[in-house]
Amino acid sequence: MPDVEPLIDRFGRVHTNLRISVTDRCNIRCFYCMPAENVRFQPRSEILTFEEMARFVRVAVGLGVNKIRLTGGEPLLRADLPRLVAMLASIGGLNDIAMTTNGLLLREYALAIRHAGLHRLNISLDALSEAAFRRVSRRRGLDKVLDGIAAAREAGFERIRLNAVAIRGLTEQEAVPLGRFAREHGMELRFIEFMPLDAEQNWDHDRVLRGRDLRTMLESAFGPMVPIGRDEPSQPAVNFAYADGRGTVGFINPVTQPFCADCNRLRITADGSVRNCLFSADEWDARHLMRHGGTDEQLAELVRDCVAGKRTGHGIDSDAFVRPARAMYQIGG
């Protein structure tokens, strides 16, 4: 594809980051993401093939995308996922291929995805006590997650980030143990404010545990923290380092400190719908285009249309906010 103009929306934001949901299936049932039981998954025939995903990425790279992240559901449930990683790693122009996982299957797959070309891992770890883990995930499995983290380190992943959703009434008791675990194992910790994307629609603003409150808890346990710069302007986390030099913590505060002004992300769901925001009310159907003879040029135009339709912000903090029709597991984390 010839050189083209980058993906710039009407507010001047340049889009270089793509999140790809490879499946809507998951092996746990975190309440901030999925229903507890009787989950309705997309028929497999409606999920993009690896070839369709790779085609979409090639087109997106031609438009300036240089970073991708594989998400789900739980991406490691997708059969033969290392093959997809290898396909994406062969596409020139990608500087970073990352994945977000709950870690339950990492013991089995860490080495294979590393050898296939995956650069970085984010591992969801909301709690270090079995009771709190089960309250969030509604399943057992903490020991398997911790073993998966060990397996990822053994496989050679050097920069492992732990993601913890911050939920009032739950995360307060887990923040310090998580902070200690990350410090002891040399991993970056990120807290993410609870967002209105849960399938059962129980989100309430009062359940949002603010990043600044978590910072106070960590400083009480480990000493002062100092702000540090972002790796790049579009990074959603506000980063702090412990003054004693033993680690960093990022706070992603989409509810209390929206970062929409610097957003550079696009998303494609497992069933091939392109979204310009987690909270978008609109989607652009790339699967239909790819399966009905659409050209790469038409696919590129669809992506441009999606970017052009992006709003200035998600509006969680406004009275006009409307929850998206899909829950997190249906969109991709």
Find, among 261, 268, 262, the residue nearest to 284 by Cα.
Answer: 268
Q: What is the pLDDT of residue 233?
A: 72
Q: What is the pLDDT of residue 319?
A: 67
pLDDT band at residue 201 under the 50/70/90 scheme? confident
Q: What is the pLDDT of residue 202?
A: 78
Q: Rounded mean pLDDT of 86-102? A: 97
Residue, of 181 and 195, whose pLDDT is higher: 181
Q: 11 pLDDT exceeds 70?
A: yes
Q: Rounded mean pLDDT of 178-183? A: 97
Q: Rounded mean pLDDT of 319-333? A: 80
pLDDT in tens, 38-53: 898 999 999 999 999 9
Q: What is the pLDDT of residue 3?
A: 60
Q: 18 pLDDT exceeds 60?
A: yes
Q: Which residues pair with 249 in a beta bridge?
A: 189, 240
* pLDDT above 90: percentage of residues in the chain: 74
Find, among 135, 146, 195, 140, the residue nearest to 171 by Cα.
Answer: 135
Q: What is the pLDDT of residue 317?
A: 66
Q: 62 pLDDT exceeds 90?
A: yes
Domains of the chain, earliest start first = 17-331 (3.20.20.70)
* Residue 84 CA: distances (Å) to CA of 55, 70, 244, 263, 305: 11, 10, 41, 26, 27
Q: What is the pLDDT of residue 320?
A: 67
